[in-house]
Structure 1
Amino acid sequence: MNDALELLYTGDLHLGRHPSRIPDDLDGPKLSPKAVWLSTVQEAIDRDVDAVVIAGDVVDQENRYFEAYGAFEDGVAQLDEAGIPIVVVAGNHDFDALPDMVDNLDADTLQFLGRDGQWERWTLERDGEPIAHFEGWSFSAEHVYDSPLDEYDLPATDDAPQIGVLHADLDSRGSRYAPVLSSELRDSAVDAWLLGHIHSPGIQIASRPLVLYSGSPQPLDPGEQRAHGPWTITIPENRDVQAEQVPLASVRYDRISVDVSGADDPQEATAVISDEIKEHVRSELDTRSLKLSLVRVHLTGRTDAHSALVDQHRSMERDLGFREGSVSVRIESIGVDTRPAIDLEDLAEGDNAAAFLAGLLLEIEDGDPREAYGDVVDDSLGAVRQAHSANAYNPLRRETELEDPDDDDAIEHLEQQARVLLDTLLSQKEGKA
């Protein structure tokens, strides 16, 4: 008999929300967070885990309460029937919605911890003996500026592992989302801290105590790259906590850099891009649950197709799609960072517009463009900031916190425009010749 404690842990379900940038012809319920939540429930039942742990933000926002309620209730009912307890805390997105939802659900196995921002302990027993103490704290308002650990006063135990469940912003001083420090977590008597809030999954502290962000089980935007899914947490008698991700997400966002040096035209570049992505899917991705791979492509290299790639990359984004095994592959975006197949050093020796642009590009590549071309960088920064403040970006601002453009953004924009202009000048010169 295996006496190790086994949990299935997730967080940031954001039921009611939907992954962004999904092509219309592929969009549907199978790609929703609800579908991955129900897959997580089935995984817990198949593994016969001791408990399911959810570290907050079950509901995306209060106005999506009713959409989330049915999905959450369905999963809870299945776990309740299987006799698997659910331990859950509230995050900043569902601080008011989740307590109401829990109160309305008829499930003996559902344990909501930390109501009203007060630390709370619940003990899981097996055959009348404690096998785990779960210690949780929940958001009671949308913004919490102080560390929840300031009020942590639960006594240490030695009869079973202690597992902290917390929605918090780790090592981010000044955060308004329950900032906590790694040092605070290390100083506690807890064996493992299961955190929510950050959507990118990963172990933050590998040694005792284990500190882990589950990440969102289904990625929600292109910034949430890599594999996603719940985690198994296994704690044997020696309390050596082990964590392993179960990649149940049906959507994956990735970024791939493709060198198209030597491509003579966009068609040839497209073939190179397709080959690189297919190899990435075959060799790098776990495709057991994956249905859609959305790839952000970064094109590099010197090529005669540079200008055409700049002009046609939008149509390439729309048209380049295929299947690799059971996975549909689509292009989320193409960033053209190629360079014309020209000798910039030789061209910069002249005294015309092309020489000026060549000198600017050389300075961007190897020097300090702010020092040598300060006025030009200022003009570029002004243009980028003006575009950033346009009304078209308002929906994105409501979903995410956009940072103001800086010199790096201005120089990147300047480099792209200078390359296109230089390529155009050289093409005009060749045409006259």
Structure 2
Amino acid sequence: MKKTNMSADVGRAGTLSFVHAADLHLDSPFTGISGIDPELGERLAKATFQAYEAIIDLCVDEEVDFLLIAGDVYDSADKSLYAQVKFIEGLRRLETVGIQVFICHGNHDPLDGWSASLTWPENVHIMSGEGAEVVEFNKEGETAAVIVGMSYPTQHIVKNLVKDFPRKEDNWPFTIGLLHCSVGSNPEHDPYAPCTLQDLRELNYDYWALGHIHTPSIVCKEAPVVIYPGNPQGRHPGETGARGCFFVDVSSGGDTSTRFIETDSVRWHIREISIEGLEKEGELIESLQSQLDDIREKSGGRSAICRFILKGRGPLHYILRQEGFLEDLLRLLREGETWSKQFIWIERIENETFFPVERELLLKREDFVGDLVKIVEGLKTDEKARNEFREFLSPLFFSSRNGRKYISRIDNEEMNSLLQRAENILLDALLTEEDNEN
């Protein structure tokens, strides 16, 4: 177990303060943007770097003692040269004001990935990948904190790394664990370096600065405080809502207070809009425009990317199904938007509306239409039927190498949505044919 000493030149006397960030994913492309405008693309390419700069600004403005970065600084093991240079520029800003930086690497930026031959500032300490490393942080001539951390030596770590961390010793002051890992189960992320909350508690640390889960969350509010700050900039429709980092203040008595700080410059929004009660195209346009106005008003000056999902039953469903209508609607709503400091971009409009009929009545029909609705209902509500259906689909996910590259596992919520959409398509065709025959 290696021990290192680092000292601070700034910070508030009698207290300890730091910023906890993770999953910067510098130079990560925004995904899910269709028909992207080149000017918009240029703005989005800067978003992860702007979030990083906001973190550096926060450290300087708050005069913190140090910055913790819990893995995935970059988006891939072969980090871009541009991303590495911009990252070091931010660290040098902190060096000029005496703020220390402690970094552990994760699955996207393991130690065995390519790195340019660049000189690291002296205020930076990168955790070893050979085992848990203990770093003493000195302030005003005394050890004010102990940071214990470990980097990923390679990309795929399935071992519980927490088991290699030492227990807090009696003479250690405020002790922080720094690691990129999965606590418990989270279906949205692969289980890298999996561990349990009990594993963390057994080491008797005061704070766990974690990375890997992109949604900000406080896993445990009491000692040990366990936090995922999430990524500082959302990059796709699955990363909606505020993104940022945590500012942490520790009193002389050891009491810990935390505050989430927003750092994203572009925010993702998904809004569901019901067509029930809407009869004309103009009413739909007004409803969507109202949503845009609401997003702009509540954005805090930042830009936004929106996805609208149209739901419900109503006569507008017939119009929405017309070829080219959604494309025209999207073009109309995007028209006039300029890439100013604050922009609102509609990424797409999805039609999940239903044929304007009572589904309960269709379930009672003793014909092909009734059978269709009963089958879908069974797949949505009967666990045995759902499992058999998943087994039928399994070759898509496991047997085909190409399929695995492009198709991810479908959770129950997405499965229900896909089943409903399939039912809608079939009912539209069948019931429209009935209308024509009548």
TM-score band, normalised by shorter chain: 0.7 to 0.9
CA distance in 1, matches of 2:272, 2:160: 40
| Matched residue, 1:78 | 93
Q: CA deviation at 1:40?
A: 1.5
Stretches of structure 1 lacking an aligned partner (at least 5 in a row):
none
The answer to whether the 8 A contact 1:219-1:252 is kept is yes
Tell me the equivalent position of 2:289. 274
1:416 has 2:421 as partner: yes
Deviation at 1:205, TM superposition (A): 1.1
What per-residue deviation string (whole Å, max 9, x for no partner) do you get for residues 241-293 of structure 1? 2222211111222222222202224442232233234335535x4x24x22x2
| Partner of residue 29 from structure 2, selected from 7, 18, 28 | 18
Give the distance between the partners of 2:68 and 2:40, measured in 1 at CA: 31
- Say if 2:264 is the partner of 1:245: no
Matched positions, count? 415
Residues 1:58 and 2:73 are matched in the alignment: yes
Structure 2 match to 1:110:
124
CA, structure 1 residues 407+257, in 2 after alignment: closer, same or farther (shift >3 Å)? closer
1:380 and 1:266 map into 2 onto residues whose CA distance is 42
User: Which structure 2 residues correspond to residues 344-359 of structure 1 after superposition, within 5 A?
Assistant: 344-346=359-361, 356-358=368-370
Identical aligned residues as a percent: 23
Q: Secondary structure at the match of 2:349?
A: strand
- Distance, in Å, in 2 between the alignment partners of 1:379 and 1:166 is 35
The AA in structure 1 aligned to 2:41 is D
Q: For structure 2, list consecutive stretches of 5 or more residues without a partner in the other structure.
A: 1-11
What SS does the aligned partner of 1:334 have?
strand
**Distance in 2 of aligned mates of 1:56 and 1:215:** 11
Give the TM-score, by structure 2 length. Answer: 0.81
Change (3 A) 1:129 1:413: closer
CA contact (8 A) 1:234 1:243 kept: yes
1:417 Cα deviation from its structure 2 partner: 3.5
Residue aligning to 1:95: 110
CA distance 1:264–1:144, change in 2 (3 Å): same
Shift in CA distance, 205/72, structure 1 to aligned 2, threshold 3 Å: same
Aligned residue for 2:269, secondary structure, equals strand
With 35-44 and 263-272 compared, the bigger mean Cα shift is at: 263-272
- Superposed, 1:378-389 pairs within 5 Å as 385=396
Root-mean-square deviation (CA, aligned residues, Å) is: 3.7
Paired with 1:265 and 1:380, the residues of 2 have a C-alpha distance of 43
- What secondary structure sits across from 1:423 in the alignment? helix
Q: Which of 217, 225, 237 is equivalent to 1:210?
A: 225
Given the alignment, which residue of 19, 25, 28 partners 1:8?
Answer: 19
Contact 2:77 2:114 in 1 (8 A): no
Alignment partners' CA distance in 2, 1:419 and 1:81: 61
Query: Kindly tell me: are residues 369 and 75 of structure 1, through their superposed partners in 2, closer, same or farther at Cα, counting changes over 3 Å?
Result: closer
- Per the normalisation by structure 1, the TM-score is 0.82
Q: List per-residue Cα deviations over 1:338-369 (Å, max 9, x = no partner).
A: 22222344566666xxx53256436746x666
> Given the superposition, is the C-alpha separation of residues 191 and 303 from structure 1 closer, same or farther in structure 2, using an over 3 Å criterion?
same
Match for 2:257: what amino acid?
A: Q
Stretch moving more, 9-18 or 309-318: 309-318
